[in-house]
Amino acid sequence: MEFEIKPQNKFSLGLKELWEYRELFYFFTLRDIKVKYKQTVLGFLWAILQPLIMALLFTFVLGKAISTNSSLSMPYMVFALSGLVVWGIFSSGLNNAGNSMVTNANIIKKIYFPRLIIPISSVLVGLFDFFMALIVFLGYCFYKDIHFTLHALIYFPLAIFLTCIATFGAGSLLAALNVKYRDFRYIIPFLIQFLFFATPVVYSPTMITNKYVIWIFALNPMAAPIDIFRASIAGESFNLNSDLISIASSLVILIIGLVYFRKTEAYFADLA
Query: Which amino acid is residue 245, in one-letter code?
Result: I
Residues in the chain: 272
| Structure confidence at residue 239 as a pLDDT band (50, 70, 90) | confident
pTM of structure? 0.86
- Given this model, what pLDDT does residue 255 score? 94
Return contacts of 27-36, CB within 8 angstroms, 24+ apart: 28/104, 28/117, 28/118, 28/121, 28/122, 29/121, 29/124, 29/125, 29/128, 32/96, 32/121, 32/122, 32/125, 33/125, 33/128, 36/125
For the segment 154-183, what is each residue's pLDDT rounded down to a tens digit? Answer: 888 999 999 999 999 999 999 988 888 887
**Do residues 265 and 122 touch, judged by C-beta distance below 8 A?**
no
**pLDDT of residue 6 exceeding 50:** no
- Given this model, what pLDDT does residue 241 score? 85
Q: In the chain, which residue ranges form alpha helices assigned H by DSSP?
A: 15-20, 23-36, 45-69, 76-103, 105-110, 117-143, 152-180, 184-197, 211-218, 223-230, 240-264, 268-271
Among the ranges 95-109, 166-180, 202-216, which has the highest mean pLDDT value?
A: 166-180
Task: Compute the distance between CA of residue 254 and CA of residue 247 in angstroms, rounded to an integer.
Answer: 10
- State the CB neighbour count (10 A cutoff) for residue 180: 14
For the segment 246-256, what is each residue's pLDDT rounded down to a tens digit? Answer: 999 999 999 99
Q: How far is CA 17 from the centre of its chain?
A: 24
**Sign of dihedral through CA atoms 145, 154, 245, 121?**
positive
**pLDDT of residue 264 exceeding 70:** yes
Q: How far is CA 143 from CA 49, 58, 72, 121, 155, in A?
A: 18, 20, 18, 34, 21
Please state whether 145 falls in left (phi above 0), alpha (psi between -120 and 50) or beta. Answer: left
Residue 38 DSSP one-character state? T
